[in-house]
Amino acid sequence: MILIIRSTDWSAGLDYINRYAVRNRNLQADDKLVLRFFRVFFYLQSQNIDNAVLEFSSVGNMDKLGPDSSAGGTYVPYNLRVLYAYIPLISKNDFSKAIERFHNVLLFCEDQAQGADFSGIEEILAKCQETLDRAHILDQGLTQADWVARTYRVGLTMAELLIEKLDGENGQKHLAHLIQLFGEIPTLLSLQSKLLLKIGDVPKSREVTDKLECIIPSSEESALVSLNRALIAVHDNKSREAQDIYDLWKSKDPNLEKVCMNNLGVLSAFDGDIMRAISYLENVVRKDPTNVNEIVIQNLFHLYDFYFLDNKERRNIIEELITKYNRNTFVKSRVSTISQKF
């Protein structure tokens, strides 16, 4: 199975699963659930959404699944719930439905972690990383600390979706809940500042960023603080200040290079230098087409339509790079949806 996943031959994976099921008709319920997980995974990777949804219908009514562990007496594991939550994004770019489903996953994780200590999440993540990476599909052998880490991960995913949807009211409630669970840690304060900025509350965003700066040791130059300051500078019409920050961090931290280049592209567009903006964003894609973010593609397509009008040649090159090299089916699907809009 690992070799099939590494090869990305999803048809071969489905064929293997189906042949295995035919040869082993008396499988236990747990074994059937493992096969169902892989079948759903392969269907989603090959963008066969209808068959993936049919697989879930055999499990039970997933939309009415509460924080308890089962649907119709069958345990529904974390990974299967997460795949189900992603389907609205893949098929219809439906943020509302995806957020609703991720909220159900969050309740499930919190229920599994009930009674655990949620403080010190950075240390918990460091300790649980290897366990979670190798976790059994049916969640066997996990500790409460592992479920705390999963609660945090799902909570961050929900926060990012709410920010992208510009849902200020629910976003603030959700982040307040996460801060109540995990405390005022840098990542959550940074997301809070970003959300406030997105919905236009610049003074409050600045206040949260000041708080963020206070909790980070003065000896550390924080990317979180700097990038938040850059966003605030953009809203204050200080594009030069923001550009300096992004230029600094794209050279200083390889993990932030793509984010900074995307933002530099957007800033260039605001300044009227469309060709420079396009160049920044195309370089993000060319540098690593396997992991490009769909937001970069959306920004790039907007610029293509604005500047090149009916000339689709450059856009087609970018689409081919994504289709050929990107490892993330969810991104490919979103890119396809975005492309159809233009």
Tell me how far CA of residue 184 lies from CA of 49, 175, 176, 234, in angstroms. 39, 10, 9, 25
pTM: 0.80
Return the pLDDT at 196.
Answer: 93
- Complete DSSP assignment for 154-210: HHHHHHHHHHHTT-HHHHHHHHHHHHHHH-S-HHHHHHHHHHHHHTT-HHHHHHHHH
């370089």: which residue's tokens?
A: 283
* pLDDT per position as a tens digit, 135-174: 778 888 889 999 999 999 999 999 999 998 889 999 999 9
Return the pLDDT at 73.
Answer: 58
CA dihedral 258, 263, 268, 272 (to 10 degrees): 130
Return the pLDDT at 342.
Answer: 40
Return the pLDDT at 1.
Answer: 67
With 0-12 / 13-18 / 19 or more C-beta atoms within 10 angstroms meaning exposed / middle / buried, residue 195 is: buried
CA dihedral 8, 12, 18, 19 (to 10 degrees): -140
């529904």: which residue's tokens?
A: 76
Task: Identify the helix (H) or strand (E) that includes residue 33.
Answer: helix 29-45
Low-confidence ranges of the chain (pLDDT < 50): 219, 329-331, 334-335, 337-342
Task: Identify the helix (H) or strand (E) that includes residue 145.
Answer: helix 144-164
Q: State the Cα–Cα distance between residues 154 and 109, nearest whole angstrom.
A: 8
Return the pLDDT at 240.
Answer: 92
Return the pLDDT at 28.
Answer: 83
Return the pLDDT at 219.
Answer: 47
